[in-house]
Amino acid sequence: MNAKPKIAVHKFASCDGCQLAFLNLGEELLALAELVEIMHFAEAGPVNLDAQVDIAFIEGSVSTPDDLVRIQKIRANTRFLITIGACATSGGVQALRNLADGREWIASVYAQPEYIESLATSTSIASHVKVDLELWGCPVSGRQVLAAVRALLFGVAPVEERDKVCMECKRTQAVCVLVAKGVPCLGPVTRTGCGALCPRFGRDCYGCYGPAENPNTEALGLRFAGLGLLPEQIARRFLFIDNAAPVFAEAGARWRSAADD
Amino acid sequence: MAEPTFLPRASFQTLLDALARAGYRCIGPQRRDGAIVYDTLRGPEDLPQGARDIQSPGRYRIERPDGPRCFAWANGPQALKPFLFAPRESLWRSERDAGSAINFAEVRPASEPLAVIGARACDLAALKLQDRHFLEGPFADAAYGARREQLFLVAIHCTHPADTCFCVSTGDGPRATDGFDLALSELDDGFLVQAGSEKGAAVAAQLPLEKSAPAQRDAAEREIGAAAQKQARRLPGRNLRDALFANLEHPRWEEVAARCLSCGNCTSVCPTCFCHSESDRPSLDGTVSVHVREWDSCFTQGHSYIHGIVIRADTRTRYRQWLTHKLGSWHDQYGRSGCVGCGRCITWCPVGIDITAEVAVICSAEFGVRSAE
């Protein structure tokens, strides 16, 4: 990579929370600005949509006809493309509309739906262009973003964290909320990276980092049934932030069809 | 060993004071987040007085407090392990100097004199195994060693095993026989105190101890005996190595893999599991890098990753690796099984997989079929 590589941060359909994860880096953001040239990052100031860059970070899902065109241009203008967060990586919570009639939803929310120009589906960036690295989370962890940048500056492949949340939960010595409180924690099938944030504060993981490697959603769903959840409630555990991630989508569909039986 | 002496409950603070004077930070059990965990003990009022636990596969609850006792429960999720084998710690750091040379520096292990109050017999047995692994090989682990050297152990003879406990069948409890500085038997009105080391005797000498009565000693003995009687779970034998390795293709491995989440909770709560991974954490500017060790598990993909290949990609082989190592090849490595019967892996498995039930099926040809309670 060049002496001072260029980066861009692009926004698609999203809440901006992952861009905030960048902005919340504080002093490290200043250190980052020394190491790279920030060409486009509208939320932070610089705007140059068509800049040629070394790394393009993408927040958000492909949700409008304009997004379809823009993502192709960004791909053509960058060496590495990294998705940041659940929306860009799996389609986000807004991908729930893929399971419903999106037009009807729009009509029921907006007085003049004809002004809303959106696709029938919300899809991940990887459904449209080649993605070099996916960083999960809602929002993404600043630590993981910086580690990825650092690895690319060194010229090595970033290390992907694929273990279950439980591993990190136990390292922090948090008490297991599933075992001690009987709440339907998704930690055993969810990818770590958040530092077991929710279980450390006594609540159940809702899977925002997406599926871990080797996830057994079937056994965990059965455990949730044992805790008293109905099939539709189990389906909704999986069909949430990363509902369109294939592993969670399949688990949700299985429990939803069990609910329909 | 000398006859135990008696410490009235009202004088328990004197034990904490004596330990503090000797320079120890006292760690003891307390209620937090729905479980009994170990943390800094500010005074006897922090102890989980009256707390009782109910444990079963995949389930742990604390009952409403009742009664004067502070140790009338079986182990919570932690053991002594996190205090000695840190879940995450820096081992060394490297730094690039102005001339672009890389310098390596040792990171001094974080350690301080700790007194842990409440260790059970199973924990002491596990500690012996961890000592063996970390200290007694050709390369002693400095970080573990620094903390182990400064550890003071106040054991409690276990009188309230959980339904998931099976230390009797592994030969590790419920009585604490050695490896402690002080051992206590809790009675309603106080504690029988027994010193197990010179350090322990020196602390005991500062306590307002009374002569114990035969009735007190009998009561304490009876309770330990009853705790042994109460245990319903067991492993079919002390050495299952040959039975397990004769059954590597047993269909039960596949069956348990369908239920297993491969989440690593069992190995994290296991007081003897020692697997870890190491990685480098460079600073953003790339001038400094810290080499970090953290708890890993044979249930992760990374554990069996070598040069582009994952050796154990599926849960069947990961679960089999755990069990055949813990109960099998540990005999070759450490001269005994790696299981001390604490039952944590049963309680803290989110889906309640019971090691004793799995082993009973897998080794049924060698040890006879026995249904799990």
Q: What is the ipTM of this complex?
A: 0.96
The per-residue pLDDT for B1 is 57
Cis, peptide link before residue A139, omega less than 30° from 0: yes
The per-residue pLDDT for B372 is 44
Interface test with A, best of B261, B275, B345 (most A CBs within 10 A): B261
N- to C-terminal Cα distance for chain B? Answer: 38
Of A160, A162, A251, A250, residue with least CA distance to A213: A162
CB atoms closer than 10 angstroms to residue B146: 15
Residue B9 has pLDDT above 70, yes or no: yes
Distance to chain B for A99, nearest Cα, Å: 27
- Phi, psi of B260, deg, nearest 5: -70, 135
Task: Report the percentage of chain B scoring pLDDT > 90.
Answer: 92
User: How many residues make up chain A in this entry?
Assistant: 261
> What would the two tokens of residue B46 be?
């922090």
CB contact under 8 A, A187 and B285: no
> What would the two tokens of residue B90 be?
């820096």
User: Helix H segments across B44-155?
Assistant: 81-84, 121-135, 142-149
Chain B residues whose CB is inside 8 A of the A180 CB are 33-35, 60-61
The per-residue pLDDT for B373 is 40
Inside any domain, residue B366: no
Kindly state whether A69 is in contact with chain B, defined as any CB-CB distance less than 8 angstroms. no
The answer to whether the Cα torsion of B234, B236, B241, B247 is positive or negative is: negative
Of B22, B19, B64, residue with least CA distance to B44: B19
Inside any domain, residue B254: no
Instruction: Say which amino acid occupies B182.
Output: L
Chain B residues whose CB is inside 8 A of the A220 CB are 261, 350-351
Residues linked to residue A8 through DSSP beta bridges, in sequence order:
A40, A56
Of B105, B112, B108, B116, residue with least CA distance to B15: B116
Out of B61, B78, B262, the one facing A214 most closely (by C-beta) is B262
Distance to chain A for B196, nearest Cα, Å: 30
Nearest chain A residue to B294 by CA: give it. Answer: A171
The per-residue pLDDT for B369 is 58
Inside any domain, residue B48: yes
Residues linked to residue B358 through DSSP beta bridges, in sequence order:
none
User: Chain B, 101-140: which have a CB under 8 Å from a chain A CB?
Assistant: none
- Phi, psi of A9, deg, nearest 5: -120, 115
Query: Which residues belong to CATH 3.40.50.700 in chain A?
Result: 6-154
Q: Is B50 left (phi over 0), alpha (psi -120 to 50) or beta?
A: left
User: Chain B, 306-325: which have a CB under 8 Å from a chain A CB?
Assistant: 313-315
What DSSP element (H or E) covers B194?
strand B190-195
> What would the two tokens of residue A203 be?
């609540």
Confidence band for B41, pLDDT divided at 50, 70 and 90: very high
Report residues of chain A scoring pLDDT below 50.
1-2
CB atoms closer than 10 angstroms to residue B17: 15
Kindly state whether A172 is in contact with chain B, defined as any CB-CB distance less than 8 angstroms. yes
Question: Exposed, middle or buried by CB within 10 Å (0-12, 13-18, 19+), for B237?
Answer: middle
> What would the two tokens of residue B354 be?
């019971």
CB contact under 8 A, A219 and B261: yes
Domain count, chain B: 1
User: Helix H segments across B66-179?
Assistant: 81-84, 121-135, 142-149, 167-170
The per-residue pLDDT for B367 is 87
Average pLDDT for B49-53 = 95
Confidence band for B94, pLDDT divided at 50, 70 and 90: very high
Out of A150, A159, A176, the one facing B286 most closely (by C-beta) is A150
Classify strands B288-295 and B276-282 as parallel, antiparallel or unpaired: antiparallel
Inside any domain, residue B283: no
Kindly state whether A87 is in contact with chain B, defined as any CB-CB distance less than 8 angstroms. no
Inside any domain, residue B316: no
Q: Is B362 left (phi over 0), alpha (psi -120 to 50) or beta?
A: alpha
Per the listing, tokens 């009675």 go with B187
- Alpha-carbon dihedral angle through residues B351, B355, B358, B360, given to the nearest 10 degrees: -150
Q: How far apart are CA B260 and CA A166, in angstroms?
A: 13
CATH match for A6-154 among 2.60.40.10, 3.40.50.700, 1.10.10.10, 3.60.15.10: 3.40.50.700
Of A40, A23, A44, residue with least CA distance to A140: A23
DSSP assigned state of A191? B
DSSP assigned state of A61? B
Confidence band for B199, pLDDT divided at 50, 70 and 90: very high
Out of B261, B295, B301, the one facing A162 most closely (by C-beta) is B301
Confidence band for B370, pLDDT divided at 50, 70 and 90: low
Q: CA-based Rg of chain B, rounded to a whole angstrom?
A: 22
What DSSP element (H or E) covers A57?
strand A53-59
Q: Which domain does B224 fall in, by range? A: 5-230
CB contact under 8 A, B60 and A214: no
DSSP assigned state of A192? P
The per-residue pLDDT for A49 is 95
Chain B residues whose CB is inside 8 A of the A216 CB are 258, 260-262, 315
Q: How far apart are CA A217 and CA A181, in angstroms?
A: 20
CB contact under 8 A, B286 and A153: yes
Q: How far apart are CA B321 and CA B328, in angstroms?
A: 10
Kindly state whether A214 is in contact with chain B, defined as any CB-CB distance less than 8 angstroms. yes
- Phi, psi of B163, deg, nearest 5: -65, -20
CB contact under 8 A, A219 and B285: no
Out of B60, B258, B279, the one facing A159 most closely (by C-beta) is B279
